[in-house]
Amino acid sequence: MAQTSSITIRRLDGRLKKELRIRAAKHGRSMEDEVRTILRAAADIEQADAAAAIQRIAEPGGDVEPEAPPRRRAKELTVRPTRVLLIIGGGIAAYKSLDLIRRLQDGGMRVRAILTDAAQHFVTPLAAGALCGERAHTDLFDPQSEFDVGHIRLARDADLVVVAPATADLIARMAGGHADDLAAAALLATDRPILIAPAMNPRMWAAKATQRNLAQLVADGVRIVGPNSGAMAERGEAGIGRMAEPVEIVAAVAAMTHGAGPLAGKRVLVTSGPTSEPIDPVRVIANRSSGKQGHAIAAAAAAAGADVVLVSGPVNLPDPPSLSVVRVETAQQMLAAVEKALPVDVAIFAAAVADWRPRRVSESKIKKQPGGAPVLDLVENPDILSTIAHRSSDRPRLVIGFAAETDRVVANAKAKLAKKGCDWILANDVSPGTGIMGGDTNTVHLVTASGVESWPPQSKDDVARALVERIAAALEEAKQ
């Protein structure tokens, strides 16, 4: 590694070397150590090479401490999420593309954005960049960049290119094979599947030239989603020309990438959310689980190509794209839905299942009594994880549980692994101060028969992606 670092430093030009020196001094590290930190981050985000990572971080405003990646073995780094290059054209619908970035990410994808000049009249590169987690690209010849991230790299480092909104002009330039700005050049340079979401005035959509250009794009293998009909931004105008909604675009992307990821051909079951155990027609025993972690895992598994069944208790979350969702209320319903979904290759039990339920559910609302509060007679719910892990037939190859603990997190998780008969446990501290319950970040420890691995605090989406990578690697290893 030391050798790699010094070679990389030697090859840097003066400006970058200076940036690196300042950055290293700021963090109290040697230049080599700084490069190592950047390389580690670069390996985690699977960027093409260290030079590009150094260049990105050396950009003005790019002096951000890279998040420590979860510890993984080299082999597992071969599995990565779908990378989408999103080209935002200049139309009023561009504002929806910001929502699209989020939704693609919710589907477990990584997004890079290019904005045309016209797009920048509607949304800013800053907003798109902030959502993507990296600078949005705008110029074919970027004077800020001495390295050429360039249209070829942008085109090559994507698995799929999405153009949204695809304006009449952008469609015409695509059909004509133009390369006069970064968006057009990247589109011409890519050999990856392209999906366009046209958006324009209905008359422009109906124009012979636009239809001719579209026919050319279809013949070239470009996929199209929308446009929908409805009211236009111009007052009084209506007809076909509204950009497809972000959820429709995500569904089209998912359909194009389906069967292509590291979990392609695998069936994955995920339980998520709380269960809700009725006391009477209006009262329930519930818990604070938001379902965010379970839903993120289901989305990440679907994005990795798996056929996913998500069995969810009552949550306030949208259904992740491209998977089947079975909604349940009680633990007993959850168990029945899980058993119905078998056989599966992998089962992940992220739901916070109520341990007990009222023995009897009152048919009418229990009234206040002069004699005092009613006593709830509780019976234990079935342990879904343990039931499935102990099955003699149709046991999933990999059974994964969660352990939400408030003390002795790892010790309790180890005991749970043995007691429940599962293969892995993801343990987390849900003490009130952690904010994990209902929050967007999570700190987990992966407990397996071979040991404990503590992952750094990261978003629930990143935990989900890291877990999916682990699962894909484990299934791959089992094949060998």
Q: Can you give the binding site for ligand C5P, defined by CB under 6 A?
A: 271, 331, 349, 351, 353, 381, 383-385, 401-403
Closest by Cα among 252, 261, 209, 257 to 227: 252
Nearer to ligand C5P, 349 or 455 (CB): 349
Instruction: Determine the Cα–Cα distance for residues 449 and 155; give it in Å rounded to an integer.
Output: 42
Least distance between ligand C5P and beta carbon 413 (Å): 9
| 8 Å CB contact between 180 and 156 | no
Strands 458-459 and 441-442: antiparallel
Answer yes or no: are the C-beta atoms of 314 and 274 closer than 8 Å: yes
Catalytic residue among 201, 213, 228, 287: 287
Lookup result for tokens 């994005």: 303
Buried b / exposed e over 276-313, threshold 16 CB at 10 Å, is bbebbeeebbbbebbbbbbbbbbbbbbbbbbbbbbbbb
Cα radius of gyration (the chain) = 25
Q: Which is nearer to ligand C5P, 137 or 416 (CB)?
A: 416
The nearest distance, CB 402 to ligand C5P, in angstroms, is 4
How near is the Cβ of 99 to ligand C5P at its closest, in Å?
Answer: 31
In this structure, are residues 164 and 187 in contact, taking their beta carbons and an 8 Å threshold?
no
The Cα 442–Cα 436 span in angstroms is 6
What sign has the CA pseudo-torsion 463, 387, 430, 276? positive
Output 70 or 401, the one with its CB closest to ligand C5P.
401
Query: Is residue 298 within a helix (H) or strand (E), and if so which, with residue range?
Result: helix 292-303
Phi-psi region of 214 (alpha: psi -120 to 50; beta: other; left: phi over 0): alpha
316 catalytically annotated = no
For ligand C5P, the closer CB: 249 or 427: 427
Closest CA to 346 of 250, 435, 266: 266
Q: What are phi and psi of 230, to 5 degrees?
A: 155, -170
Q: Any idea which residues carry the catalytic annotation?
A: 287
